[in-house]
């Protein structure tokens, strides 16, 4: 009698299919990413914002919660041993934790925009320490809290901004460029006008000097006319001298007399 062995191949296929079905049906919990400013500096007695944002694959709903905690870095402070909740946000409402922060902490974020920031008013030197931001967006509940180090300092200790100096330098450079452009346009216009004026004077001088040769020619012609008669040039002129002696043949006798009239130009 032969013993039938189970088909191991069929079992592996069935096990793999069952595992895939479980993975498709189940909704595994994903992590939530929380981000905050590493360090914030505030002047003593002023207000500042502690920013906190998060990213989640799930839709934000009323079940989303925000928790802010504080741990002091001063050994003589009551919040030095462990983080203490100073603000809690849930279902669209905010709740204050410790009395020291009750009237000085305000929620200024927008959960729908994934912003969980708060504002701290009337900053004090005792507020120096670490602020922790924790956000839960079920089913995204696993995530690392974001940490922000707050430093409350005097006004003289704040880093000076170079923005006014940069803006002033840029404005001054633009003003100088405008002046240079205006001066260049003025100089070019003056040179252009001077060139036009010189052209006019040269034309006038040419027009005034052009008739002078004519005058010389005319004067020479007038001189020549004054020295010579105005009539046309003539050659030798022959005059006839008549004989008035009374003889019969005297009428027919003519002695030609030739007068040479030579006129030079």
The pLDDT value recorded for residue 13 is: 62
Contact, 152 vs 171, CB < 8 A? no
Burial (CB count <10 Å: 0-12, 13-18, 19+), residue 71: middle
The pLDDT value recorded for residue 72 is: 96
The pLDDT value recorded for residue 172 is: 87
C-alpha closest to that of 147 among 32, 39, 31, 33 = 39
The pLDDT value recorded for residue 60 is: 93
The pLDDT value recorded for residue 212 is: 54
The pLDDT value recorded for residue 41 is: 95
* CATH architecture assigned to 27-156: Sandwich (2.60)
Instruction: Give the C-alpha separation, 62 to 79, whole Å.
Output: 30
Which regions of the chain are under pLDDT 70? 1-30, 156-163, 196-265
The pLDDT value recorded for residue 19 is: 56
The pLDDT value recorded for residue 118 is: 97
The pLDDT value recorded for residue 169 is: 82
Encoded tokens for 201: 């004077």
Encoded tokens for 245: 């002696």
Burial (CB count <10 Å: 0-12, 13-18, 19+), residue 30: middle
């Amino acid at each position: 009698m032969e013993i039938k062995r189970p088909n191991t191949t069929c079992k592996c296929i069935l096990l793999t299919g069952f595992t895939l079905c479980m993975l498709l049906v189940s909704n595994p919990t994903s992590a939530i990413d929380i981000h905050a400013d590493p360090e914030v500096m505030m002047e003593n007695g002023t207000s500042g914002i502690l920013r906190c944002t998060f990213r989640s694959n799930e839709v934000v709903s009323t079940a989303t919660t925000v928790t802010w905690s504080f741990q002091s870095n001063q050994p003589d402070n009551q919040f030095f041993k462990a983080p203490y909740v100073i603000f809690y946000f849930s279902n669209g409402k905010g709740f204050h934790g410790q009395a020291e922060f009750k009237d000085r902490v305000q929620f200024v974020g927008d959960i729908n925009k994934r912003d969980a920031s708060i504002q701290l008013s009337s900053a004090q030197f005792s507020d120096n320490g670490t602020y922790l931001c924790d956000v839960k967006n079920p089913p995204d509940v696993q995530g690392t809290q974001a940490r922000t180090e707050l430093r409350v300092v005097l006004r003289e200790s704040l880093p000076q901004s170079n923005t006014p100096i940069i803006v002033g330098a840029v404005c001054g450079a633009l003003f100088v460029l405008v002046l240079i452009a205006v001066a260049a346009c003025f100089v070019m216009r003056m040179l252009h006008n001077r060139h036009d004026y010189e052209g006019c004077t040269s034309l006038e001088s040419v027009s005034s000097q052009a008739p002078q040769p004519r005058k010389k020619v005319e004067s020479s012609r007038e001189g020549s006319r004054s020295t010579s008669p105005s009539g046309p040039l003539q050659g030798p002129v022959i005059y006839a001298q008549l004989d008035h002696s009374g003889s019969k043949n005297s009428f027919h006798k003519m002695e030609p007399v030739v007068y040479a009239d030579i006129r030079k130009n």
